[in-house]
Every structure is written in C-alpha cells, then in structure tokens.
Structure 1
Amino acid sequence: MNAEKKQKIWEAHKRHIELLAKVNNSYVFVVEQHVKYLYLSDSYIRFFGYNPGALEFQNNEEIYFESRIHPEDLIALSNTQERLFEYLQTTQANKILEYKLVYEFRVLNSYNKYVRIVSQHQVLELDENGNPWLIMGIADLSPNTVPLDNIKIQVVNFITGETLPLNKFEEKELIEFTPREKEILLLIKSGMLSKEISNRLSVSIHTVNKHRQNIMQKMNADNIIEAIEYARKLGLLD
C-alpha cells in the first residue's frame, strides 16, 4: 500500500473520528501501529496534561503517554496489546476488525493524580500483510472505585456481543517458557549470577546468557529484572 493510498484511507476515517470526538466527552486517539500518533482529541490532550509544543515531547507522544501510565500497569500493557492482536489474527483472522480490546488501568491525569480509566482499542484498518495498521483508542474515566491491583482486560466482538474475559493472570497462556528457561529465571530471581548458574547447571555461560535473551524477548522486557517482575505477576514462576 503506497503512501498516497494510506493517506486517503486515513483522511476518510479522520472525518468520522473528529466528529466522534466533538459529540463525545471521551478521550480519543488514533495510532499508525509502530509508527506514530495520527490523532489526539483535545480532551485527550487536556486530560493527560500534554503540551504538544514542548520541545522535549515533539514527535515523542508515545514516550510522554507511556510515562503517564502506572509503572506496574505499563509492564503488562506493553506486552499485552500486540500479543492479543496476534492471538486474534491466529484464531479470528477473518473477523479481527470486529473485535476491540478493553483495558482498565491506572494513569496520571493533568493534576498528577493516579486515576483509573477504561480504554477501548480497535483495529480500523489492516496493512497489505493482514497486520493491524490503524488503531483507534477511546478512553473514559472508570466508574469503579475499588482499588485496582492489576490491569483488567476483555476482548469483545462488538458485532455479536461475545465477550472473552482475559484477566492479567490469563495472559500467561500467551507466553510459554521452556523448562530450562523457567529454571534459569528462578535461579536469577534467587540472586545467582550467570557464572554461578553455569556451574550449577553444568552449561556454558554463553548458554545461560542465550536463555536470558530468549526470556527477555518473550516477555518484551528491556532487562531481566523487568522480565522477572512481569513473569511473577503473571504467575509464570509458580
């Protein structure tokens, strides 16, 4: 799909999205998957206290908005959306445009106070390879007042009304460790260094470090500490 065709498709969606944002008090955004934000409603900008004119955030909207998500929730969210879209592509390839992912998590508002929001994400368009290209999000303040310990997730078919609940601990079905990876991760969690693990398991340090890299890749984690924390929250180390 060339740039001109993409622009025409986006412009067609943009008119409807701008109208939606005007008649709705929700916070609306659209992203070009893995590229950039294409649209931010005024209400979204106000709610998060984003100043698009600030030099440090020019063309870095993703960095800013990620910084507003509660750190514990960000670990899960950064891994979840792409994995769930991949899951839908595998199980519902012909119906992926009928589904939306519904998240409830904690964010900092413009007053730097953590509040709970419900954010609904749906694929508007696929690219030529059948991968999500345009994704729209609509967020609202959550009506729930009970303290939130984990993010909440649902997958909803908005045509049929079918709902597939996926709480945080069910995400582990999307991530699988080999027995050796789990063994090494538990040893790292206990405080052992690669050399110590190498001696303990009678394998090379290179092998241990290769398993570390595989673990971080599966968890989409920047470092092994983050991978351990996310695995713990998902119950993968039980």
Structure 2
Amino acid sequence: MKKSETSMSRRSPGKSYGELVQLWQNQPYSPDLDETSFQHLVPNTPTLTISPCITWVFDLRTKKYVFVSSNIQRLLGYEPKEWMQGGMKFAKDRVHPEDATHLWKLMRQVWEFLLALPTNDRQEYRFNCDYRLQKANGTYARLLEQNTILQTDNQGSVRYLLGVCTDITDWKKTEGLTASVISPQNETCLVCTSTSTEESSPFEALLSKREKEVLKLIADGYSSKIIADMLSISFHTVNTHRQKIIEKTNVPNTGSLIQFAFNHKLI
C-alpha cells in the first residue's frame, strides 16, 4: 500500500465528510430563497424515466434531495422518496467503505476550488467524481456523478445542484477514484485522484499557464515592464494578467497575492 493510501486509510471518513459539509454550511445563504424556488428549473419530461442516467436536484443548505428521477428504482432499486426523505446521510451510508474517505477528501478539494471562485463565475463550472454505491439488493455499482450548479441565491451562495449519475461498472475496473472540475468557457480544469502522492492545491487550476508565469515573476520581484520584456508581451497585458490573478485569488493587493501564492503552493 502506498504511503498516501496508508495515511488516508487512517483518516476517519466521518471527518472528511464533516469538512465537506462545513464548506457548504459556511456559505452566507440568503434568507429570501424559499424551499420551492428551484422547481421551475427542473425539466418535466418523460425522458427522465427511461433515461440510463439518474437525475436529481440537491439542496446544499438542507442537505436534502428535493427531486429524484423515478428511474432510480429501475437502476439502483431504491424508491425516489427514500433518497428524498433520507437526504445526504442516506446516500453517504451507501458509499463503499473503501471509497468513503477518498471520496469526501476529493469532493472537499473540489468545493474548496469552487467556493474560491468569484461568485459570478461559479455556474460556468461542471464537476464530476466516481465511486462505488451499494444498490438496494446489496451489490455495488460504480457510478459517475456529474454535477452542475443549478441555482445560487442573491448573495451568490450555491444552493441547488443538478446531478446526473451513470452506472460505469462495466467501463471502469480500477479502484482509484477521480474527481474533476471543468470550465469550458475559460478552459480551466482541476483533476484530483485518490492515488496521488500529495494533495495539490485546489487553487492551481484557477490560473492559466501564462498567469502562472506572470505570478512567478511577480514573486521574484520583477516589475511589470521587465516582465513584459521577458515574456515578449506588452506592459498593458502584464498588468491585465496581474489584475486577473488578484481577482481570481480574491486578495486585496500584490503583497497579499505573493503570500497567498506561497501558502497555496502556486509558486
């Protein structure tokens, strides 16, 4: 067993799960978003019944499934109301014990990345993970879970997720788990795996390759003019990169940016 797997196996799945839920609870939710405001966003179509993918809407604030497609009974053997009544705990208790710690750790990395984004950018991102889940008959299926932020409240806090689950048991036989966050708009991608030897910074995927180059040179003490000459770009472009980096990392100034970069292993 690898060192990283040994250390993770000693870590309580409950602690990893608790850290994930804490990220959700720490959002400054707006009090004016009621429990039914998501309903107009849920498609009312019979294809959800015959689809090979399970679809749900999950409320982060209450940790409840407020919609689950009826085909979950055909695909996993559960009634939709079991998931809606049991909420996140019902799903959590059915994750394979060997996957639990890895899954919650990976999802914590995903959510640290998402919640570090400017609130207006979050809905551009899609995030995915795979894990084994116990079916109603006691056997396990490996699922690919794909999520989209369905709705944020007036303060930008993520409230509802649209999730789609596909059985990939016959596609993937390896035991390692993978989670990813992707934005087609700005071509950023964060990939985390349960077999990586060290935990990468979830903030690394925030920056483009060029922004990382500029950030390193800023940290090395070079001025914008010298950076422009070194990279063969304009002074204006360097300052634009500098401003975007500050906005993406949500720091007040260049000094704080350098400290942030060192603390989160961006340079």
TM-score band, normalised by shorter chain? 0.5 to 0.7
* Structure 1 position 125 matched with structure 2 position 156: no
Distance (whole Å) between structure 1 residues aligned to residue 39 and residue 150 of structure 2: 12
CA drift of 1:144 comes to 5.3
What's the CA shift string for 1:137-189, capped at 9, x where partnerless?
Answer: 101011654532221111122445654322233772359xxxxxxxxxxxxxx
Q: How many residues align?
A: 171
* Map 1:36-47 → 2, pairs under 5 A: 36-47=64-75
Structure 1 length-normalised TM: 0.59
SS of corresponding position for 1:42: coil
* Cα gap change, 1:45 to 1:83, in 2 (>3 Å): farther
CA drift of 1:113 comes to 1.6
Gaps of 5+ in 1: 176-238
Residue of structure 1 equivalent to 2:77: 49
* Structure 1 position 29 matched with structure 2 position 73: no
Distance (whole Å) between structure 1 residues aligned to residue 105 and residue 138 of structure 2: 25
* Cα gap change, 1:24 to 1:158, in 2 (>3 Å): farther
Distance (whole Å) between structure 2 residues aligned to residue 18 and residue 78 of structure 1: 32
Distance (whole Å) between structure 2 residues aligned to residue 147 and residue 27 of structure 1: 21
Q: Which has the higher helix share?
A: 1
8 Å CA contact retained: 1:47, 1:110: no
Residue of structure 1 equivalent to 2:209: none
Distance (whole Å) between structure 1 residues aligned to residue 197 and residue 154 of structure 2: 31
Q: Over the residues paired in the alignment, what is the CA RMSD in angstroms?
A: 3.1
Counterpart residue type for residue 68 of structure 1: R
Distance (whole Å) between structure 2 residues aligned to residue 167 and residue 59 of structure 1: 31
CA drift of 1:69 comes to 1.2
SS of corresponding position for 1:47: helix
Structure 2 length-normalised TM: 0.54
8 Å CA contact retained: 1:115, 1:141: yes
What's the CA shift string for 1:34-70, capped at 9, x where partnerless?
Answer: 411101111124433224667xx88323222222211
Gaps of 5+ in 2: 1-29, 203-267
Distance (whole Å) between structure 1 residues aligned to residue 162 and residue 136 of structure 2: 22
* Structure 1 position 64 matched with structure 2 position 57: no
Name whichever of 72-81 and 116-125 sits farther off: 72-81
* Cα gap change, 1:115 to 1:80, in 2 (>3 Å): same
Counterpart residue type for residue 142 of structure 2: R
8 Å CA contact retained: 1:29, 1:44: no
Name whichever of 31-40 and 76-85 sits farther off: 76-85
Distance (whole Å) between structure 2 residues aligned to residue 80 and residue 89 of structure 1: 14
